[in-house]
Amino acid sequence: MTKLQELFTKEGQSPWLDNLRRSWLETGELKNWIDDGVRGITSNPTIFQKAMTDTDDYDSQLTELISSGRSIEESYWELVLEDIRNALDLMRPLYDTSNGLDGFVSLEVDPTLANDTSATIRAAQHLHTLVDRPNLYIKIPATSPGIPAIQKLIAEGKSVNVTLIFSLERYEEVIEAYLSGLEAHQGDLSSISSVASFFISRTDTEVDKRLAQIGSETAIALQGKAAISQGRVAYQIFKERFSGPRWDALCERGAMPQRPLWASTSTKNPEFPDTLYIDELIGPETVNTIPDATLKAFLDHGNVKRTIDIDENSSSILQQIEKEGIDLNEVSDLLEEQGVSAFVDSFNELLETLEQKVSQLKN
């Protein structure tokens, strides 16, 4: 049994792969990851930008699409949808055998719509119709305009991966959108699923930079603790909100809890262990979506042991960080803005690159 398999069977955590590229589908590498214990796949515009610009795997289909009269952006979505559908079909057996717990593949809406509720809803509805697979997660950013879109889509019975969560306050809003959406849905709830993607390493990167600028002994000692502490407090919120009479009533209708998903789990600081954000956030009813390099590291030397609620001081650590002069709400607002902007930049750069590729292929 691999360590990825042990994560699920022994600790109840689902390891997902935070990457997707066509060559993995064609060579069987993605199937090998699934055999090793990967239970889901996440994608985003940055991932597709790297996949399409670093290889020529997409050139043949791109040429055909442009020749048939498709625009660059239309061609982009066709390229993406082919990979997503093939990945979904590969994951479908796991989705079926896990009774809809895992086996999902996530596809993000156009990132330029992050601050437009109505446009986000329409885009998500359109993608669900185009893909037409029960194990599809549409990724919706947890911006303020994204929250009502999440609630609306859940009420319509569509499964959602809520992405770019950076604060505990926003996480509470995401949970409320999910619960309210379930309550608004008519009938059985067992086919509706959602995860709430809490971004981890980016929080440490920003907070640690500010702690270093403060430079006090206490501030330096707090470096590397903000993100894990925030994740652990989020887990306590999850346990509290998905219990009690309100949740029990939804469970009677077949509802599944919206599991916390730890995203951005590769370490950015070379002084930290490369499996830090896996090792320290292991617990039942959670997901960790992990880049392939970090997955390989965890398979080699990761530690399979429940750690999500091992430290009861997580809240006090966050309070200490605040006392040192770090405004965590300001940090989360900045990171949300940067996260949306990064995906928009990747999306736009990819369209430019595809246009350049088309010109080169025509010559």
Please give the positions annotated as active site. Answer: 139
Measured at the CA of 82, the angle between CA 193 and CA 48, to 5 degrees, comes to 80
User: Crossing angle, helix 328-362 and helix 201-214, to 10 degrees?
Assistant: 120
Please give the Cα distance from 255 to 284 (Å, whole number): 17
Q: Do β-strands 194-199 and 160-165 pair in parallel, antiparallel, or remain unpaired?
A: parallel
Residue 108's SS3 state is: strand
**Which pairs with CB-CB distance under 8 Å and at least 24 residues apart come from 64-70?**
66/358
Q: Indicate the burial class of 332 (C-beta count within 10 angstroms; 0-12, 13-18, 19 or more).
A: buried
81 and 48 in contact (C-beta within 8 Å)?
Answer: no
The answer to whether the beta carbons of residues 4 and 34 sit under 8 Å apart is: no
Q: Are 295 and 33 in contact (CB under 8 A)?
A: yes
DSSP 305: S
Q: DSSP letters of 146-215?
A: HHHHHHHHHHTT--EEEEEE--HHHHHHHHHHHHHHHHHS-S--TT--EEEEEE-HHHHHHHHHHHHHH-
The contacts of residue 77 (CB under 8 Å, 6+ apart) are none
| Distance from chain centroid for Cα 243 | 24
Query: Residue 199: beta bridge partners?
Result: 263
Q: How far apart are CA 16 and CA 105, in angstroms?
A: 9
